[in-house]
Structure 1
């Protein structure tokens, strides 16, 4: 009887292996029938395009996830089971940390905003709620962990959120470890609809809350034609910048000359927080200088704003230490009748670069542009195209979804 049972198990495993194997063979064979795409150079240094990964959807009947690089492309069905588990963005900061610090990362939320890393420490802070008792404001607490790379020692603990009974929900926006403390930047929403931005200072070695600073307070819906919002401006993680910048502004949707809706920003107010000293100052920027521009990147002591211009993308550089605009330039995006509106573009500012992907009107290809934020020079221009010798079927379409740059987060 025991031998009979073993034979059944062996047979079941064999069937499963054969079925899964047949599925992947069939998937790869089907993907092989699809065209291979590349990012083909039009001008500039082609090395600039090497770290780019364009996430898109290929349509020929059914839709299929497609990732395009300078050297070729890969369809979702070509990926292994484990590659699919990683999700669409394998370039995320969380994925990067999971590869390097498996033990430390075990059981932690996959939210890039909750993590920090420099040459000495890996920091983590997330909001924990006890859903077993229902969603109650009194449940809010920080789950904190810090890895000392040199000592190979991890400190983990839980701290209640100060005045937690006053909030409906709390989000972690940014974490920074410096001078023996952890700075946790959050957005806190109250039941009455008002929102606050906070900086919590935590002594992670002594597992103690040191300070709770309220940066901004505002009502999201003030009854006007738009709404108020505030956020922590993205930074270049590799630089470990000294400043964290909170931006508060009013957002309004207006109708453009072509009848399409345009999103405008106004009344931009900055809170510039010095991570080393804990000092902060508030600045309201001149409306005429940055009208319609949105804070997009903090790099060193420079805050970059971005805005769509008539012939390209306007980048305004604001010096946080001098308190003034130091450059205002437009990265020209060469246009043709086949290009879609720049409002449909994907724009990324990172690593002192601007990356732009512009789809064409019939969704057959797309234009790629890379520029240097400091000099204003265009470093590379390319197009998404079929690999040499490849045939493109009639009726296909490509929808550009996202642009990632390897090595940046």
Structure 2
């Protein structure tokens, strides 16, 4: 009997795995929600390459969804191996992982760490012996650059200059410009201030040639500071500009209403190619509207917000340093308790607007001001038909392969 125990154990595992699979599949099928795009007007090709991520809520039931024009998935009920793959590979990197498996192996699959154009794939990350040791020691850039034509890989490891000044660092953007690698980082100093740096690496000489501070927060004795990049598009775009927000408040000097005194709340534009930073003059009425939905596309900053007239998009021409005429997209107003989901991506405005009866999905062209697609997100299947339900969309990506 002892010599058969291995075979018995293997068979038992197989039976249990198959049983678990069918139980989970049955549960998922009985509870499955299918969302479809129903076109009202426009070009259906505009939605073919999109994936919407969000939550479906009806009564006391809540379910996570990933919605495409072909199918709706619940990420919690995917096959085990597929679930592991989704957890480890961001949708924006799936194509690169499939095409360049050898190069991508053993890398930190964070989209900000990669850059790709027709000639090059570049990767850079921060490596530290111990991130909990303050100040940081043995802080280095780990760099690999692939030449697509020759298949040659250039690997570098360079020390971070003045690393003893920092308590934390992260890579925000990687870009290759005429044989030089630009690494934009967010650095936290030992005194609590934040900085954005641009490190320039000459790839032929395999050495760092520039270390520039491109934006920083003021010194605050008692309070808080924040510095961050506003949405600058997909990882593989060769961006010319970054929009950076700087905030700081001082709690030691309170206002009359007891609120902290704001000593900084502004924006700067960084020209990546020319290594120049300029302050952005923002009208007071839209100062608080610049956020996650805003983005830089080519040389224009787009700032969308919901108004009584629809979606209003403010435009700032960076090269001419002026505010252009606003774009107005006529989109149904949302319910009183729900703001629309807005995103600017690749020259388009994406909006999901929940009215009292339905969920409107809209795509507008930011260059022409015209509507490209308008439709509805409709629930086509669910176990118990719910008239009162909500879709909460919190991300839209382009080009994901499902």
Q: TM-score, normalised by structure 2?
A: 0.84
CA RMSD of aligned residues (A): 3.3
Q: Residues 27-66 of structure 1 correspond to what in structure 2 (within 5 A)?
A: 27-34=24-31, 35-59=33-57, 63-66=62-65
Task: Render the CA deviation track for 1:42-62: whole Å, top value 9, x for unaligned.
Answer: 333333222232223345655
Structure 1 residue 290 displacement after superposition: 4.3
1:382 aligns with 2:379: no
2:213, 2:37 → 1: CA distance? 46
1:379 deviation in Å? Answer: 2.1
With over 3 angstroms needed to count, the CA separation of the structure-2 counterparts of 1:133 and 1:227, relative to structure 1, is closer
Aligned counterparts of 1:94 and 1:328: Cα–Cα separation in 2 = 34
Relative to structure 1, is the Cα distance of residues 14 and 64 closer, same or farther in structure 2, using a 3 angstrom cutoff?
A: farther
Taking structure 1 as the reference length, the TM-score comes to 0.82
Separation in 1 of the partners of 2:383 and 2:120?
50
Structure 1 position 23, deviation (Å): 1.4
- Find the aligned partners of 2:45 and 2:72 in 1 and give their Cα distance: 17
Matches within 5 A, 1:237-276: 237=235, 239-241=237-239, 243-250=240-247, 267-275=265-273
Tell me what 2:394 maps to: 402
Cα deviations by residue, 1:69-126 (Å, 9 ceiling, x for unpaired): 3344223355222221133696633333211111111111121111000111111111
Give the whole-Å Cα distance in 1 for the aligned partners of 2:222 and 2:280. Answer: 22
8 Å contact from structure 1 (residues 195, 220) kept in 2: no
Corresponding residue of 1:356? 351
The number of aligned residues is: 385
Change (3 A) 1:251 1:374: farther
Instruction: Report Cα offsets for 1:309-346 as digits up to 9, x if no partner.
Output: 3343322222222122233123232126x57432xx32
Could you tell me whether the CA contact under 8 Å between 2:193 and 2:216 is conserved in 1?
yes
User: Mind listing any 5+ residue stretches in structure 1 that lack a counterpart?
Assistant: 253-263
CA distance in 1, matches of 2:214, 2:130: 29
Q: In 1, distance between residues paired with 2:245 and 2:371?
A: 31
Q: SS of the residue aligned with 1:138? A: coil
1:395 and 1:9 mapped to 2: Cα distance? 53
Which residue does the alignment assign to 1:291? Answer: 287
Cα separation, partners in 2 of 1:291 and 1:332, compared to 1, 3 Å = farther
CA shift digits 1:126-159 (9 cap, x unpaired): 1111139946412321111111111111121211
Map 1:1-400 to 2 at 5 A.
Answer: 4-5=2-3, 7-34=4-31, 35-59=33-57, 63-76=62-75, 78-87=77-86, 92-131=91-130, 134=133, 136-219=135-218, 228-231=226-229, 233-237=231-235, 239-241=237-239, 243-250=240-247, 267-275=265-273, 278-288=274-284, 290-294=286-290, 296-335=294-333, 340-342=337-339, 345-359=340-354, 366-387=359-380, 392-394=384-386, 397-400=389-392
Shift of 1:12: 1.4
* Deviation at residue 390 of structure 1 after TM alignment: 6.7
Aligned partner of residue 320 in structure 2, secondary structure: coil
Deviating beyond 6 angstroms after TM superposition, the runs of 4 or more aligned structure 1 residues are none
Tell whether the 8 Å contact from 2:130 to 2:136 is kept in structure 1 after alignment: no
Contact kept? 1:58, 1:396, Cα under 8 Å: no
Q: 1:385: Cα distance to partner? A: 1.5
